[in-house]
Structure 1
Amino acid sequence: MCVVDDAPKESGAEGTQATVFAWSPAPRHKRRWGLWIGTPVAVALVGVVTASLILIAPGTAVAGVQVGGMTAGAAASAIQQQLEKTSVTLTGDGVDATLTATQLGAKVDAQALADAAYGDHPMWKVGSWFSDTRHAPLALDAAKADAALRKAAPSLFRDAKDATVAFDATKKAYVTTDAADGAGVDLTAVTEALQDAFTSGRTNVTLSTTSVPTAPAISTATAQKTAKSLNTMLGKIGFYVGSERTVPVAPQVAASWLTVTPQGDGFAISADQAAIAKVVATLPKKIDRAAQNGTAITDTQGKVLRTEVATLDGRTLGDTSGLAASFAKQLADGNGVATLPVSVAKATTTKVSRSAVVDLSEQRAYFYQNGTLYKSYLVSTGAAGHATPTGHFRVFAHVPMQDMGCVDGYTYCTKNVPWVTYFAPNIGFHGTYWHHNFGHVMSHGCVNLPIDQAHLVYDWAPEGMEVTVQP
């Protein structure tokens, strides 16, 4: 308990003390109003600065949509919503239909546009405020738009007719049918009308429309080009040993392998591997053969005049296990040449030279092979006034039978003279049925022989063979 004097004493009196209180008021604290007021302002200022870093500048518009003050995400949503509200009303030719951008498959890259708007016009960049409206190009989904327009205005549409390619068995070739235009709505005009409405910020635009020609997917020119390529392939198609088409494939057989299918603006070609494999299985019998050595008839200088026996190399077909598959792919690519794997056994060619000598003094003809006497026959040559000419000649023609003389200017007529081998003008070896006096001059200049011998000479003497007539 605190004790206090009942009566105060005067201050300063001798022998007295000043009054002492046992309590005192609590000390006063200074009020900090500035701190409490400044904190919200600072927070607000930070918010404004932060917002300016993510928002699009005021006065920025994209295709009629004001996106100022929005984030890029919000702006993209606003642009997309505006597009979805936009529609086009078609009129004309009894048509009155309204189609929305969504029905027409209209698309715009809203996010890219919003990002570009922010990138060029951020709020923090004061100089970019209140800019010109940004263009927002849109595109229609052609298939979706076509389906919607056909449903809304069927009277404006007529299907185009594609050109076709098919095999004609009678002609043994691929033939074509021409394409024909159709009719429809001009998608470009619809796109431009919808774009105009969207760009200006309107929700609807009216378009007066009529049918316009529409091109077929596959033109006549494309079909003709495809048919020409296929027919060219049919002309060469087959199985080859080197450059020789050893096993041709008939056009109708090749066509049975091929399938020509319309695809896009052209044709896809495929080949039946299983059908090709059946033909491949028959190839060994057609390809395999033993070597055949040949014989060539020459003149005395070695020039080949005639092939007596053809020279044929032997060959054996190799592995064909992948041939059907590879040929099917080739045919699909337009290549009808299947090169066969073949091993070859080389054949040889024997050359035999032939020549003849007619000896007028002996009335005998000598026939030589490789310089060695092969045959010798008595003959009858030209009588007086019709001498057989002497000199060096070459056989130039063979006539199996003809009349000799029998025309104006000739004093004789011999019918059906057989096996004539000419070696000089109007002079040759020939068979004789009107006399047997061989070994004596009898003829009008030709070299008379018995019919069987004349036949042998006819077959034995090639064109170009040398004939010498000596006195």
Structure 2
Amino acid sequence: MTDLATRPDADEERAHDAASPGDGDASEYQWAPAEPHHPKKRALLWIGLPAGATAVALVAASLVLIAPGTTVAGVNVGGLTAGAASDAITARLAETTLVFEGPDGQFQITGADLGATVDATAAAEAAFAEHPMWNPSTWFPAGIDVPVTLDESRATEALRAVAGDLYVDPVDAAVSFDPASAGYVVTEAQTGEGIDLAAVQEGLQAAFDSGAATASLETTIAPVPAAATTEEATAIATSLNGMLDVVGFYVGEERTVPVDRTVAASWLSVTAEDGDFVVTADAAAIQPVVDALPAAVNREAINATVITDTAGEVLREQTAGVTGRALESTDGIADRFAGMLGEGEAAFPLTVTESEFATTALVRRIDVNLSAQRTTLYENDQVVQSWAMSSGLPGSPTLPGSFRIGWKTPMQDMGCFPGAPYCTENVPWVSYFNGDQAFHGAYWHNNFGNVMSHGCVNLPVNAAKFIYDWAPQGTQVSVHY
């Protein structure tokens, strides 16, 4: 059984028992009034809750805020989040003002006018990473350097707007075609001048680093180079002149249709874009030349003619063979050539269909009949010409045998040396075949058909000329009785 004294409602049961009828008068046993019940004291709890919340908030804030005393360049970012710090850095740079001192007075310009930028986000994140508020060891002093960059085009435009009299524009180099020399020539670039952007960037960096809202800067003038330089123009002109040397339409290695230099130059345009030279060609201007290509390229095959000996060895090419050819479609040639010219290639390869030539062989030989005193020329065993001749006298006979035409000369003196038994000057159309024995013209007699010479074969001058032209070196000569 539970002990009454230990139960929470023991007092109430005792009071109830005292009031119940029993051995004596109930009034003799009545309890004294109970003490009033006091609630638990909670004041300290309600006072402590706000203080605790504040502490938690401070701890949480310290986890995202930058430590006190931290600066990025000259901007105090202590106590700020990285995002707020980034905004503060950007705003400060935009507001930083440079006051320029020049010979004609002052002018001023802001970072925003100059298109100045910094990587504010990266700088702010670096500031928090290196100097977080939650780490007191990183507090005071702490600074982050950040480089300032300028938008050169925007900065130049802004400076020219307030100090245009300090600028002299550069002049780009130019390339043009000179009809007199039929080549491309260069006009040299001219350097300009203007406010030194490097000095402006350094001045703005120094002002930004120091945290100054305004800073004075001496105006510095620097040369402004031309975008298109003389060196670049010279290189382009050299390339273009090289193109004009070879421009045309080719079949293999043959420049079948050359193009006049002035005509080719009329197809081309040379312009400078952002300092770079660009060459373009007009396909419409090229088209008339393309239209005329079939007439210039197409041809019939020309058969070859060669002179041979009886064994078939070629002694001379009488007529060169020429391969026939026909140009394939000219569609798109003008456009393709225009593209090639723009890339610096001036030799356009044509596609043709070729037809081979035939070769005719002329087998030539010379027959010298000492008995008949006659010289006869044969071609493919057919008599071409035959003449009466005068061979050597008995004391200096023309020797029989098989020989070949060797050295030839249109004229020479014979026997005209000391001790010689004779001297005949200006002997024409000499074709040697056996040592010092030769066919030649004999202008000093007309006794052909009879022996007369010192061993050579004398012929009428026109006959000797015919042999000289007709019989190449190596032509077979048969001398017999």
Give the TM-score, by structure 2 length: 0.80
Q: In the alignment, is residue 311 of structure 1 matched against residue 328 of structure 2?
A: no
Match of 1:4 in 2: none
Superposed CA offset, 1:382-415 (max 9, x none): 779998899956455564xx6868x99895555x
2:173 to 155, 163, 166: 163
Superposed CA offset, 1:140-179 (max 9, x none): 1111222233343344432222222111222222222222
1:465 to 429, 450, 474: 474
Contact 2:368–2:375 (Cα < 8 Å) also in 1: yes
Worse-superposed segment, 88-97 or 21-30: 21-30
Match of 2:130 in 1: 120
Match of 2:68 in 1: 58
Match of 1:283 in 2: 293
Residue 216 of structure 1: how far off its partner (Å): 1.8
Q: In the alignment, is residue 39 of structure 1 matched against residue 57 of structure 2?
A: no
2:284 counterpart SS class: helix
2:243 counterpart SS class: helix
Distance 2:166 2:137 in 1: 51
Residue 208 of structure 1: how far off its partner (Å): 2.8
Residue 119 of structure 1: how far off its partner (Å): 3.0
Match of 2:13 in 1: none
Residue 270 of structure 1: how far off its partner (Å): 0.9
Superposed CA offset, 1:98-134 (max 9, x none): 2222222212122222122223333233333335421
Worse-superposed segment, 429-438 or 63-72: 429-438
Contact 1:429–1:454 (Cα < 8 Å) also in 2: yes
Residue 65 of structure 1: how far off its partner (Å): 0.7
Match of 2:11 in 1: none
Aligned length: 453
Distance 1:199 1:469 in 2: 110
Which letter does structure 1 place at the counterpart of 2:352?
Answer: V
Structure 2: gaps (5+ residues): 1-23
Distance 1:386 1:246, change over 3 A: farther
Distance 2:394 2:219 in 1: 106
Superposed CA offset, 1:45-102 (max 9, x none): 2212221222122222111111111111211111112112223333344463322222
Residue 286 of structure 1: how far off its partner (Å): 2.1
Q: In the alignment, is residue 71 of structure 1 matched against residue 86 of structure 2?
A: no
1:259-338 map, 5 Å: 259-298=269-308, 304-338=314-348
Q: In the alignment, is residue 350 of structure 1 matched against residue 395 of structure 2?
A: no
1:139 to 149, 165, 176: 149
Distance 1:397 1:150 in 2: 86
1:276 counterpart SS class: helix
Superposed CA offset, 1:204-240 (max 9, x none): 3333344333322222221121111112222222212
Structure 1: gaps (5+ residues): 1-13
Contact 2:403–2:433 (Cα < 8 Å) also in 1: no
Distance 2:396 2:222 in 1: 92
1:387-398 map, 5 Å: 394-396=405-407
Q: In the alignment, is residue 230 of structure 1 matched against residue 235 of structure 2?
A: no
Distance 1:381 1:101, change over 3 A: farther
Contact 1:368–1:375 (Cα < 8 Å) also in 2: yes
Residue 183 of structure 1: how far off its partner (Å): 2.1
Which letter does structure 2 place at the counterpart of 1:126?
Answer: P
Contact 1:284–1:317 (Cα < 8 Å) also in 2: yes
Cα RMSD for the two superposed structures: 3.7
Distance 2:407 2:178 in 1: 47
1:31 counterpart SS class: coil
Worse-superposed segment, 70-79 or 383-392: 383-392
Match of 2:226 in 1: 216
Q: In the alignment, is residue 106 of structure 1 matched against residue 103 of structure 2?
A: no
Distance 1:255 1:222 in 2: 19
Match of 1:5 in 2: none
Residue 323 of structure 1: how far off its partner (Å): 1.9
Distance 1:349 1:82, change over 3 A: same
Contact 2:413–2:423 (Cα < 8 Å) also in 1: no
Q: In the alignment, is residue 180 of structure 1 matched against residue 190 of structure 2?
A: yes
Distance 1:210 1:445 in 2: 102
Distance 2:213 2:389 in 1: 116
Which letter does structure 2 place at the counterpart of 1:465?
Answer: G
Contact 2:364–2:476 (Cα < 8 Å) also in 1: no
Distance 2:106 2:335 in 1: 57
Distance 1:379 1:324, change over 3 A: same
Distance 1:412 1:343, change over 3 A: closer
Distance 1:209 1:394 in 2: 94
Distance 1:458 1:366 in 2: 14
Worse-superposed segment, 67-76 or 87-96: 87-96
1:259 counterpart SS class: strand
Distance 1:437 1:77, change over 3 A: same
Which letter does structure 1 place at the counterpart of 2:43?
Answer: W
1:139 counterpart SS class: coil
Worse-superposed segment, 45-54 or 19-28: 19-28
Distance 2:203 2:396 in 1: 105
Q: Percent same amino acid among aligned pairs? A: 44
Distance 1:36 1:224, change over 3 A: same
Worse-superposed segment, 150-159 or 112-121: 150-159
1:255 to 249, 261, 265: 265
Superposed CA offset, 1:305-329 (max 9, x none): 5332221222222233222222111
Superposed CA offset, 1:18-66 (max 9, x none): 5969998873311212321232123212212221222122222111111
Worse-superposed segment, 196-205 or 150-159: 150-159
